[in-house]
């Protein structure tokens, strides 16, 4: 579901301030993701991304992208947040909502690698909020990765 039309950071900022009927909890974690993006280490792309996870217990965990000169060793904000959540709360924690934001005014849904890694820990009905080409989008995680690879018992 789209909530804001337009592209560029100004359109997304305006949407977040005045026009998006996000649930308060989603709006709060989206703002936490934007704040985390300020700490991005992205000297090669200058693409500053932040992520925030709301865990099933209500805790909020954030992460940001950390680039590397070899590019392949770069870690995305979503995986940085997830690794931090596991380190803080253990492997039994579950993700109830995900927010991704960037400071570049560009679309940035979770990449395929992040979707697959999140699939190990996300609740099936978890909501994901992120900037899309036509504005801010909110959708269920199951819609982002409907056929996740896994060894489910």
User: What fold, for 8-141?
Assistant: Cytidine Deaminase; domain 2 (3.40.140)
Tens-place pLDDT, residues 56-69: 999 999 999 999 99
Exposed / middle / buried, residue 10 (Cβ in 10 Å: 0-12, 13-18, 19+): exposed
The confidence score (pLDDT) of residue 26 equals 95
78 is catalytic: yes
User: Does 144 have pLDDT greater than 60?
Assistant: yes
Active-site pick, 25, 67, 78, 120: 78
The confidence score (pLDDT) of residue 153 equals 53
Enumerate the domain spans of the chain: 8-141
């Amino acid at each position: 579901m789209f909530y804001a039309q337009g592209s560029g950071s100004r359109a997304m900022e305006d949407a977040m301030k005045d026009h998006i009927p996000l649930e308060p909890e989603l709006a709060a974690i989206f703002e936490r993701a934007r704040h985390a993006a300020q700490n991005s280490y992205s000297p090669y792309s200058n693409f500053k991304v932040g992520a925030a996870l709301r865990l099933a217990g209500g805790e909020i965990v954030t992460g940001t992208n950390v680039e590397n000169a070899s590019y392949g060793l770069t870690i995305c904000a979503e995986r940085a947040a997830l690794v931090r959540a596991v380190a803080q709360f253990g492997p039994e924690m579950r993700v109830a909502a995900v927010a991704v934001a960037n400071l570049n005014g560009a679309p940035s849904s979770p990449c395929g690698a992040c979707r697959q890694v999140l699939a190990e820990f996300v609740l099936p009905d978890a909501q994901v909020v992120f900037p899309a080409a036509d504005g801010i989008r909110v959708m269920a995680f199951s819609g982002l990765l409907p056929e996740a690879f896994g060894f489910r018992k």
